[in-house]
Structure 1
Amino acid sequence: MPNVGLIARNQRLFALRAVRTVAEQHGIRQFLDIGSGPHHAPNVHEAAQAVDPACRVVYVDRDEAVMAQASARWQGDARVGCLTADARAPESILRSPVVRRTIDFAEPVGLLLASVFLFVEDKDAPAGIIERLVGALPSGSYVVFSQGTYDYDGDQSTVELLTALYAEGGVTVTPRDKATIAGFLERAGLEILDPGIVATNQWRPDADAPPGDEADSCIHAALAYKP
């Protein structure tokens, strides 16, 4: 898949722009990144702390090796927590001592659900998981959401190939359309902010960014607000 690197970079850059947006423009100082995946530079906490060094982040992923590496890297930094847990078990995240020690749920939170629900099947009730996670957040919180889709892939060849490659590795992925994603967010009581649900490289691009083709995304992106 020659364009998979570009798809991944567009996804990562969207997440970092969204973190910067809610930190700079909305004053969010704590972030919960569920399904954080392997860590790269800059990381979510680095993007947030570039706005305010006091920003706190908890990374959550079900991959023990990924979390062990992250824990070793940021050990001793009270502003960064690492938790091995599965997004499909939201209570294990919300009740975790790591999360409770780092995140103050009396204050607004930035919740990142960046491309994690691609790996949550319909049988696992993704809408209910999102509703539970958002339900734990106070008013004034923000949700950064992205999800793989067929919507930007004309003949569906790229996403179909990616889905097949995941399946060869024993991983089931579930691309979803814009209406389904909107339903997830709205059921959770969220307001989707401008520019709505768009391709990752179309979501508030930096002024100096080259024009992006939606086919180089294959991922829906949105920022939502909890009133």
Structure 2
Amino acid sequence: MQDEPWRPLFDAVVDRLQLSDPIKIAAWRLYVEQLPALAASQAAINQTPAPSATRDRMKRIMTACNALLEAIQDDTPQGGHLRPVPQLLWGLAAQLTPDDPNSAIIDGQADHALEDAFSGVLMLRAAAELVRDAEADRVASGVGGTRHKAAAGYHMTFDFLLDIYEAISDRPPGTSWDDMSGAASGPLVHFLQLCLQALGYTPTKNALRTAVRRAIKARRTDPNKSAAPQS
């Protein structure tokens, strides 16, 4: 393994899960080499604005687009349709052919440029509307309304680690309880704690046990769902 900082985690998991199958060990090596990039990309997800902030910004963009679309059209109907503001058409022509703006108007270049600009504003407004609607997927039910799904990237990392555990151990996810210490235990809990600590997270064993049980329950009802502990 070229990335030496990850060798201790690789060795610790091999030892803790008592991996002996060369195929499983090779698979774990591939997974552990992916973790740095995975953690970086998913940590970036955690920095994305809350859905409410993004929705508000998209609404402002849509409002601005509507105002711009209205402003670049003349109030005088032409054949039942609004027409472009003539001065704006000339301004475009002057940009296209500074030495002879009239030529850009005569040959239609200015008209085409205005149509492209108009279409661009329409596309921008449609894009903002799509983003606004998509943000609905990033909220969850909460007391008195909706709340942001905090640490979405961390949740994704947690669920990915569950999949890795099943792949390299051939064991279903589950936890146990140590009566002596009064803390959660079991190979999965130790595996998750080792990996998450290496990625900079510090969940307790009991928090991991709760999260694993929640994840198992979620997967029974919806395989696409996962539940991870708060870091």
Using the size of structure 1 for normalisation, the TM-score is 0.24
Q: Which has the higher strand share?
A: 1
Larger Rg: 2
Using the size of structure 2 for normalisation, the TM-score is 0.23
